[in-house]
Structure formats: C-alpha cells, structure tokens
Amino acid sequence: MTLLKLKRVYEAPEVSDGTRILVDRLWPRGIAKDKAQIDLWLKDISPSDALRKRFHGKPEDWDAFCDAYAAELEGEAAQAAVKELRARLADGPVTLLYAARDESHNNAVALKAWLGRRQGGGPSS
C-alpha cells in the first residue's frame, strides 16, 4: 500500500518519508539545498504566484483557494507534474513537503485532497 504523507520541510527527514517532494513554487527560506534532502522539486504542481499571493494568510478563503488551485492543476504543466508525482507514488511512500506555518491550510493539504478525489490519486494517510 502506497502512503502519501505531508510534512513541513523544516521537520527532520525520516526514512519512512520515502521520496521527499517539495511542492512549493519558492525555495523555503533558511534551508540549504545540499542539506534539504529533497528528492524532487515539482514547482509546476504548486499554485501560481498570483494565487499564492491572493490567499496567503487567509484561512477564511480556504474553499475558494482549493477551487482555484484545482482549476490550475488541470493545466498542461501541472498535469505533467501530477504524472511525475503519481509515478513516484507507484514506487513507494511519498512525502509532500511544504514551508507554510499553517499545517491545515496550505497547498500540500489542498493537493493531497485533490489527488484523493481523482481516480488513481493513490491511497492517503
């Protein structure tokens, strides 16, 4: 059974993380690339800069953010990134990494929910 987990990029890596994929458009502050232990950076699966800025720090707009992000995930570049993510899921555990402080309202949470609603999105935990 494949496992899809979420984790702040600032948390210590664990063997159980499996493939560690950064799903933010911007590199997280204060983390050196050589020490981040990130296996893949899927910028194209992250929300656009405009969407990210529009909803940054507004958990009350969560549903609108999720809807707008879902629409962006249908784009060509995002779909290529989704295909890569699904290929990694087929190989074993994947941890989606994000930098946001809010662990309940961020793009990784929205992405995991979106994948769960899509056929072939893979089991989640």
The pLDDT tens digits of the residues spanning 77-121 come to 999 999 999 999 999 999 999 999 999 999 999 999 999 998 644
Residue 36, token pair as written in the block: 């981040």
pLDDT at position 35, please? 82
- CA distance linking residue 107 with residue 45, whole number of Å: 9
pLDDT at 45 over 70: yes
Are the C-beta atoms of 116 and 124 separated by less than 8 Å? Answer: yes
Residue 52, token pair as written in the block: 């990210």
What proportion of the chain, given as a percentage, has pLDDT over 90?
Answer: 81
Reference 86, options 109, 47, 119; nearest CA is 119
DSSP 45: G
pLDDT at position 106, please? 94
Are the C-beta atoms of 24 and 101 separated by less than 8 Å? Answer: no
pLDDT at position 8, please? 96
Residue-averaged pLDDT of the chain: 91
- CA distance linking residue 24 with residue 45, whole number of Å: 8
Domain boundaries, the chain: 4-117
Q: Up-side HSE of residue 36: CA atoms within 13 Å toward CB?
A: 22
List, in sequence order, every residue forming a beta bridge with 22; answer none if it has no partner.
Answer: 41, 97
